[in-house]
Amino acid sequence: MAVSLPSSSPLPVSFPSNLLTRSRILSPLSHALQLNRLLADEPVGSTRSFSLRSASPRIGAFAADSSSAVGSELSTELDAVSRFSEIVPDTVVFDDFERFPPTAATVSSSLLLGICSLPDTKFRSAIETALADSECYEKDDPSDRLSCFCDKALVNVGADLARLVPGRVSTEVDARLAYDAHGIVRKVHRLLRLYYELEVPSERLLFKIPSTWQGIEAAKLLESEGIQTHLTFVYSFPQAAAAAQAGASVIQIFVGRIRDWSRNHTGDPELDAICRKEEDPGLELVAKAYNYIHKYGHKSKLMVAAIRNKQDIFSLLGVDYMIASLKILQSLKESITYPDEKYSFVRKLSPSSALAYNFSQEELVNWDQASFSSAMGPASKELLAAGLEGYVNQTNRVEELFGKIWPPPNLHLPSCCYIRYLITNPF
């Protein structure tokens, strides 16, 4: 990420969905992370993340009460938009870090797949250490053992990332628990305990949870304990409002995914009403969620992903965080602004303007499971389901891979454990 994050607002850097193709020779880690894209096969609306720290200057953002237009001292569009929102680059390749240096990271099942694809990455040892963990290989149930290995691998890699980036590390929570609030809480507690064992404090961590009703309920419980959460797969106002009411630290909306759905489908009342006003449904959802958060004093920060062009950025100036592709960032960086330029970069979203936004009584409910479920339209249901399916598939693939390579080379199991391994894994 190429931004300096406030200590209370850690964010991940997300991979773009398309694959990077490079003709030049890359470092082993860069190559591994590109293979990660090939292996992950994530669904529409999913986010893969990774970042490393750079010593280069970072993009900064003005505070919420900054001026609404850019001064004449700025020289590029990237400088201009960075005064209103923190710009998060989609980057994984080392030679991009100097241009757009990141500050935080996300560890996920897709990242584990990428690391496993090559032997010569600096994080390979983190996975091998996980596969050699005695707590895991002493478990009798193979499924429990593999789940334990995955948890250990996520945390080992996350701890390595925490040593490399100044910001926070977001850790993916098993999407197979998306409809089990207590299961999510137990999983986060386990991950947090593992991080503590590696001396990574909770203030450096964020836990990424799907925005099902159960996921939102789990986030509420975790936030009450001081554990920061990152709710993803938000595609509707009920999800965003319920997440804000739950006190989620970060709420992530995918602008382009919502736009794509509305272009190819009808029958979603929330999106159809926006389209009838000839407004963009993705941009409108971000604006409504931002105004709701700020008008009613919720602590959540809003992050926008799936940005498709510079106009999306110009239309959302003032939102807390925007994830943008390297192509868009490079275009912003190469576009010069002049003191006498007629076009003015104006802040579109601000806490003060949020006060003037009017919400209907139906939108101001205290969300419960019944009202939440009835308000979820076809778009959010379909996009959420697609995101969950992708995450579940990735987790299953990681466990399948770990089952094939365990025990790792040079691992000397106690005789009782080796006998148990042979029994549960016959030749």
Active site positions, annotated: 208
Give which of 115, 125, 94 is closest to 32, Cα–Cα.
Answer: 115
Which residues have a Cβ under 8 Å from the Cβ of 260 and sit 6 or more positions away? 44
The answer to whether residues 206 and 165 touch, using CB atoms and an 8 Å cutoff, is no
The whole-angstrom separation of Cα 48 and Cα 252 is 13
Torsion, CA 116, CA 118, CA 123, CA 129, rounded to 10: 60
How many CB atoms are closer than 10 A to CB 49? 27
The answer to whether the beta carbons of residues 402 and 149 sit under 8 Å apart is yes
Q: Taking a C-beta distance cutoff of 8 angstroms, is the pair 244, 298 a contact?
A: yes
Mention every residue, 6+ apart, whose C-beta is less than 8 A from residue 425: 142, 403
Q: Count Cβ atoms below 10 Å from residue 400 Cβ, excluding itself.
A: 10
Cα torsion angle, 27, 33, 38, 39, sign: positive
Question: For residues 215 and 208, what is the distance between their CA atoms, to the nearest angstrom?
Answer: 10
Tokens 């923190």 correspond to 86
Question: Of 211, 271, 270, which Cα lies nearest the Cα of 244?
Answer: 211
The DSSP bridge pattern shows strands 169-172 and 205-210 to be: parallel
CA 164 to centroid of chain Cα atoms? 18
Cβ(28)–Cβ(120) under 8 Å?
yes
Alpha-carbon distance of 238 to 228, in angstroms, equals 21
Give the residue among 209, 224, 154, 205 at the shortest CA–CA distance from 179: 209
Paired residues of 90 in beta bridges: 325
Distance of alpha carbon 89 from alpha carbon 329, whole angstroms: 7
Give the phi and the psi of residue 252 in degrees, each rounded to 5.
-110, 125
Q: Which helix (H) or strand (E) holds 353?
A: helix 351-354
Closest alpha carbon to 153 in 90, 108, 203? 108
